[in-house]
Amino acid sequence: MGSRMKKPLGPSWKEVLVYQCLCFVFNRGLPGKKCGNIIVKAEEMGNCRESVMMQFCGNKLDKKDFFGKSDPFLVFYRCNEDGTFTTCHKTEVVKNTLNPVWQAFKIPVRALCNGDYDRTIKIECYDWDRDGSHDFIGEFSTSYRELSRGQSQFNVYEVVNPKKKGKKKKYLNSGTVSHNGHCPFVLFILFIHSFLYLALLFHYCTLLLLSHYRTCFPGNPTQPTSLHYMSPYQMNAYAMAMKAVGEIIQDYDSDKMFPALGFGAKLPPDGRVSHEFALNGNPQNPYCAGVDGVMEAYYQSLKSVCLYGPTNFSPVINHVARYAASVKDGSQYFILLIITDGVISDMAQTKESIVNASCHPMSIIIIGVGPAEFDAMIELDGDEVRISSKGRYAERDIVQFVPFRDYTDRTGNHILSMARLAKDVLAEIPDQFLSYMRIRGIKPSPAPPPYTPPGHPLQTQI
């Protein structure tokens, strides 16, 4: 597996492709007539499965229409290995404006740059004309790495017309185009693996997030030595993790009401040990309103419960599995988020619970906080060896584990580091979701018609 593959004998696939095209030209050409040439350029595509959502807006673009303003649109070009450019995307036309806001669009990263984040991306701006002779407004260049910074002063580009610049000494630009980060996916350019699949979530089902937070790490939450330390200046690792992941997943939930449970604590008033208690203190209704409600319940529970071992994962996994097992039609999919310091007291029972849960519509995300080793969590992840219990293997992989310490930014940029955490935590969810639907033969419902806001500028697709 780790050895380098030998070069195959015979012509490469590029050579075969060129040969076949040349044969087509010579065999199909008309006798005695020159039929022109076909130039074939091939580049091996990188193994990059990332997709990205982007949005751009213009400001003070040149006026090109005599009786109006301009009808601007953008054309994106990928730079090839030989320095030439290939069109990879065109925006829609926004009519009669010098300050257009183009619709957000999704595009595979390899279509933009073939997975090379530093490869040049050229963007040209035109004024649309009905006869197809579109007027050139200007151009600018960037790279995927620059675009990944999201909305900032680094992503405001001068649109320059080289001919005007050569003729006019006082010429500055023909306007500007900005990369507009209006949502988390655009703001941080989250390269969530195959995240395009998540668009199906709107048509497949209502997605439910059930968040469970381990609260048994020894120590007083009012002391800095505790991982649950309630600092007046910044969030602890547990809070940062649940906020980073929860704010992404909540957009796919219908009512944004999340049941939040804790495990590993002595509860008031009698001090009984519980591995399945409501963070908001209401066992009859453990639902919290949005991620902010979950955060508030978490902080309140730290003031009322006494953190205590042992640490048993299986009760909360079984708790979610009971709900998931009752849904057979694909209308709901459950995500269990566990944040833990890595200690686990019921490994055998937890493995059995995961194997049982693998046939239900659910996934499990585990985030490890603190300095401990996470060998047990890596085993539960099952990326290298499919998890099994009592000779029975999990039907599919449903666990994703990441250590929180790998995402702490030494420069203090918590926003960027939490975006990276959310990206990797959610990396396997789309495939896990789709694998369940495919195994059960559940197909998506028809997509609803696109929503057009009232008063939105008239747009023409080119």
Q: Residue 124: which pLDDT band, with cuts at 50, 70 and 90? A: very high
pLDDT at residue 75 tops 70: yes
273 and 243 co-located in one domain: yes
Which of 153, 168, 189 represents a domain boundary (last residue)?
Answer: 189
Give the residue with greater pLDDT, 186 vs 263: 263
pLDDT at residue 263 tops 80: no
Tell me the three-class secondary structure of 282-337, residue by residue.
Answer: CCCCCEEEHHHHHHHHHHHHHHHCEECCCCCCHHHHHHHHHHHHCCCCCCEEEEEE
Which of 137, 162, 189 represents a domain boundary (last residue)?
Answer: 189
239 and 177 co-located in one domain: no
Identify the CA nearest to 280 among candidates 259, 266, 264: 259
459 found inside a domain: no
Question: Two tokens at 329?
Answer: 């039609």
Give the residue with greater pLDDT, 28 vs 251: 251
List the domain range (segments joined by +) for residue 210.
197-440
Identify the CA nearest to 241 among candidates 51, 426, 412: 426
* Cβ atoms of residues 330 and 357 within 8 Å: no
Residues above pLDDT 90, as percent of the chain? 22
Give the residue with greater pLDDT, 405 vs 264: 405
* Cβ atoms of residues 362 and 335 within 8 Å: yes
pLDDT of residue 89: 94
Which tens digits make up the pLDDT trace of 148-186? Answer: 776 656 678 999 999 998 888 889 999 999 886 533 332
Mean pLDDT of the chain: 76
CATH of the domain at 282: 3.40.50.410
CA atoms of 284 and 345, how far apart (whole Å): 27
409 and 336 co-located in one domain: yes
pLDDT of residue 460: 45
pLDDT of residue 274: 79
Which tens digits make up the pLDDT trace of 294-321? Answer: 888 888 888 887 777 677 888 889 988 9
Among 256-270, 316-330, 361-375, 438-452, the minimum mean pLDDT is found in 438-452
pLDDT of residue 206: 37
CATH of the domain at 79: 2.60.40.150
Span 232-259, average pLDDT: 76
